[in-house]
Amino acid sequence: MDEIALLRAAVDGRGGAPLGWDAVRAFEAAHGVELPEPYRTFVAEVADGVPAGPPEYGVVELADLPRDWGAGRPERVLAEPFPLTATWVWENDPRPEAEVEPLIGPVHDHGSVVLGTDGCGIYWHLVVTGPHRGHVWYVTGEGAVPFGAEFGTTTGKSGFAGWVAHWVSGADWFS
């Protein structure tokens, strides 16, 4: 099944109205990015957000953040590259906290759109800028992990369509 057909079938009319191409291009221009496919076509033609999950609280609309994102966080800069290419559990990082702490913020705030939350500070990000462009990441308060069989974290295919196909299958996230 082609990726867009798979995404349409997964949403099955439960998503928000699609944004349309003009709105997607305006978002991209405002943030200095081009969204990766098939997510780009998904929000333009299929649905902008899916209220019923997964993730636990659904896929948020393109310009939004999950309700539990929290106030007072720095502005997200999508045009700055997402800084990771491999799993990083900063909670176990042996470097001094003063050295590690400034490196954590960009993982949450640079180079990705937030797809949704599983609550308790657990977020799914789609990387839009940097070497991992197009990949989905699981980002928590303790660390960050790329989603996909090629990374050894799950049997699911990497990328937005692979992430959606995995949750449609009913498989556990990291199985």
Cα within 13 Å of Cα(57), Cβ side: 18
**Digit-coded pLDDT (tens) for 136-158:** 999 999 999 999 999 998 888 99
Is the pLDDT reported for residue 1 higher than 70?
no
Q: For residues 165 and 22, which has the higher predicted lDDT (pLDDT)?
A: 22
Confidence of residue 67 (pLDDT cuts 50, 70, 90): confident
Confidence of residue 14 (pLDDT cuts 50, 70, 90): confident
Residues 6 or more apart whose Cβ sits within 8 Å of residue 61: 16, 48, 49
Burial class (CB in 10 A: 0-12, 13-18, 19+), 151: middle
Yes or no: is domain 3-63+77-168 CATH 3.40.30? no
**Digit-coded pLDDT (tens) for 107-122:** 999 999 999 998 888 9
